[in-house]
Structure 1
């Protein structure tokens, strides 16, 4: 987190030099490319490339770890839900049925297990470009670049504020948790059973919402006093022209999308199951 209060981490890397709108386009194309396939081989390759990008961006692991952990936990819960609701769905896609668990009418297949692994790899492979976009894009520069590509400056500024206030919400959660702990409510492992700790975390939602609404009111009043939104256009202090580096990355990712469409049509047409 930098002095502006955003998640932006100031480094001197090739991704930090890219325009914010270009990185947004890269993230969108990357996500579209990933969602075109259901093939673990593709996702592994994209994961390796993506985390190579993160190394090039010189982002400290400590800063990006919470987002990775969140997505990892999400994939685990998603897989568990898949096992419960559709334990034979992978067999339908693979055209094979190999029982892994058969217990009182509940039948989980190897194909569904592999499908869950493939689905998890799909979600995980989206992480790298999302991380690069979030942690290498300064909110003000990103807002101005959005406005340049035709998006209303009001929408662009709303995105700017959202990016800036993510760390503030995180700090507010810490303050509320500390206040509740001072009242004897358990939030740490070992102080109470897991289900009790999970229930206690739901307690902080209401004060967090109230605090966020108060912050929204303060910001909206300040913007209204400054006449925000009166004019149809506005100038930007941080606006920069697209450079050759930006054009190169646009071309590369458009080519990635074209290659993805060709591969989807001719090679990776269905769910891949190796056995």
Structure 2
């Protein structure tokens, strides 16, 4: 987490210099292209391209490790759920049936395993651009850029506050957990069974919600005292105009979006299974 109390990491790079609205457009276009395909080759290309952009942004693995670990765990659970519930789904997609072994009395096929890997890589292909958007976009600059493209400054400021308080909520969660541990509530491995440890997280939920509501009330009162929302427009301290690199990024995004649509329509439509 950056010293500003946000997830933004302040560094000098071409990616950091991009306007926040451009990076939002990058996220939307990248995600749309990823969801056009069910082809592992496309996802590997997106992951490689995303890794290059992350390197360009000078972001290290240590700085983004929690987000990466969370998404890896999510994809593993998603794949395990898919394989358990629909072990022959991949075979139904391509009309080819190659059984491996039985799961809950139903045969699991190679085609379903390939589909599960493909689906996991689809989610992972969105991870690099998500990292870039979250960790290279300053909340205040992003709010001003949203307002610049026509979004109401009230909505833009709400987005700004949400991005700023995500780390605070995380820190509050950790503080409450430590307070509960001091009272003898078990959260760590070896202290209690897995089921009981999951149940113990309920002791964090209510204090966290109450703390968040109290934080919302404090911020709301402070904004009301300053007359927020009384004017139709407002100025931005962090506002800036689009630069040459922003226009270059827009052009590349348009080319990428058109290329994705054409490739999906004429070359790589449907689920790709090489065997």
Aligned residues: 275
1 CA distance for matches of 2:205 and 2:232?
Answer: 37
Match of 1:216 in 2: 216
CA distance in 2, matches of 1:56, 1:162: 27
Gaps of 5+ in 1: none
Q: TM-score, normalised by structure 2?
A: 0.97
> 2-side partners of 1:68 and 1:85: how far apart?
26
**Counterpart of 2:189?**
189
- The equivalent residue for 1:130 is 130
Question: Where does residue 102 of structure 1 map in the other structure?
Answer: 102
Partner of 1:244: 244
Cα distance between partner residues in 2 of 1:127 and 1:201: 27
What's the counterpart of residue 167 of structure 2?
167
The answer to whether the aligner puts 1:35 opposite 2:35 as a matched pair is: yes
1:69 aligns to what?
Answer: 69
Tell me the distance in 2 between the aligned counterparts of 1:76 and 1:144: 37
1:59 offset after TM fit, Å? 1.1
Q: Distance in 1 between matches of 2:186 and 2:196?
A: 8
* Mean CA deviation greater in 97-106 or 169-178: 97-106
* Shift in CA distance, 208/104, structure 1 to aligned 2, threshold 3 Å: closer
Q: 1:85 Cα deviation (Å)?
A: 1.9
SS of residue matched to 1:185: coil
Cα separation, 2, equivalents of 1:226 and 1:100: 66
Superposed, 1:45-56 pairs within 5 Å as: 45-56=45-56
Change (3 A) 1:103 1:245: closer
Counterpart of 2:25 in structure 1 is 25
Root mean square deviation, CA, Å = 1.1
Asked if 1:150 is matched to 2:133, the reply is no
Partners of 1:194 and 1:141 lie apart in 2 by 43
Distance apart, 1:61 and its partner CA: 1.5
Shift of residue 203, structure 1, vs aligned partner = 2.5
Shift of 1:103: 5.2
Per-residue deviation, 1:195: 2.4
Pair 1:13 & 2:13 matched: yes
Q: Distance in 1 between matches of 2:76 and 2:204?
A: 24
- Mean Cα displacement is larger for which, 193-202 or 26-35? 193-202
| Whole-Å separation in 2 of the counterparts to 1:149 and 1:4 | 25
Task: Report the equivalent of 2:207.
Answer: 207
Provide Cα deviations, 1:219-275, integer angstroms capped at 9, x if missing partner: 111111111111111111111000000000011011100000000001111100111
Helix, strand or coil for the counterpart of 1:212?
helix
Does 1:58 pair with 2:21?
no
Bigger shift: 151-160 or 55-64?
A: 55-64
- Post-superposition shift, 1:104? 5.9
Q: Which residue of 1 aligns with 2:179?
A: 179
Cα distance in 1 for partners of 2:157, 2:204 equals 28
- Secondary structure (helix, strand or coil) at the match of 1:101 reads strand
Note the C-alpha offset of 1:198.
2.1
Shift of the alpha carbon at 1:186?
A: 1.1
